């Protein structure tokens, strides 16, 4: 599969997963967290899905289109490994994670801290949708929409 096809499939999976959990997330209190602003396309989609929620976004720097740039009070700049830790216990209803690089060695380093931080950000019953597989005892894997092949995107509910 070309990288273009792979990218398109990943974006379709991301959209289908986020659209599919809208009702569930609306039944859980708490903010929505976006780890990885990038261009801001997913942030813009999250705004459409969850217009009443506070959406807090994390990235090293603002690189988004100006029409999908969070207000400064909802934009947390710096290395997510450190900045997200300061939000532990925020009881998020949803954490969306899009910080995979496509390089297995780099993603392996990210995965030494990302599952723990994701679990710590969520409130009970909160969901995390991620492009990287998150293995953590408090993250219970959930079924994906039928359109999403296993392993293309990952979805979990925080238990306990």
Ligand X SMILES: C[S@@+](CC[C@H](N)C(=O)[O-])C[C@H]1O[C@@H](n2cnc3c(N)ncnc32)[C@H](O)[C@@H]1O
Residue 48 binds to ligand X (criterion: CB under 6 A):
no
Residue 9 binds to ligand X (criterion: CB under 6 A):
no
For ligand X, the binding residue among 17, 33, 55, 80 (CB under 6 A) is 80
The distance of closest approach from Cβ of residue 159 to ligand X in the complex, given in angstroms and rounded to an integer, is: 26
d(CA 85, CA 143): 28
Residue (27 or 66) nearer to ligand X, CB: 66
Residue (101 or 147) nearer to ligand X, CB: 101
| Cβ 140 vs Cβ 157: under 8 Å | yes
| Cβ 37 vs Cβ 62: under 8 Å | yes
For ligand X, the binding residue among 79, 108, 124, 147 (CB under 6 A) is 79
The distance of closest approach from Cβ of residue 144 to ligand X in the complex, given in angstroms and rounded to an integer, is: 18
Residue (30 or 40) nearer to ligand X, CB: 40
Q: What length is written for the chain?
A: 160
Residue (63 or 141) nearer to ligand X, CB: 63
d(CA 22, CA 99): 21
Residue 41 binds to ligand X (criterion: CB under 6 A):
yes
d(CA 122, CA 32): 9
Maximum distance among all Cα pairs of the chain, rounded to whole angstroms: 41
Which x/- pattern over 92-121 shows residues binding ligand X (rule: CB under 6 A)? Answer: ------xx----------------------
Residue 42 binds to ligand X (criterion: CB under 6 A):
yes
For every residue of 61-87, DSSP letters joined together read S--S-GGG---GGGEEES-HHHHGGGG
Residue 46 binds to ligand X (criterion: CB under 6 A):
no
d(CA 143, CA 37): 25
């Amino acid at each position: 599969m070309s990288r273009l096809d792979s990218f398109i499939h990943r974006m379709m999976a991301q959209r289908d997963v986020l659209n599919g959990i809208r009702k569930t997330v609306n039944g859980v209190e708490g903010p929505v967290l976006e780890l990885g602003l990038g261009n801001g396309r997913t942030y813009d989609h999250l705004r459409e899905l969850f217009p009443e929620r506070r959406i807090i976004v994390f990235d090293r720097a603002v690189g988004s289109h100006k029409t999908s740039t969070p207000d400064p009070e909802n934009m947390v700049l710096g290395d997510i490994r450190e900045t997200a830790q300061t939000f532990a216990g925020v009881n998020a209803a949803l954490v969306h994670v899009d910080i995979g690089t496509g390089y297995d060695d780099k993603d392996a380093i990210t995965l030494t801290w990302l599952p723990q931080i994701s679990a710590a950000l969520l409130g009970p019953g909160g969901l995390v949708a991620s492009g990287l597989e998150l293995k953590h005892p408090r993250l219970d894997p959930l079924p994906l929409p039928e359109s999403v092949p296993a392993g293309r995107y990952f979805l979990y509910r925080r238990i306990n």
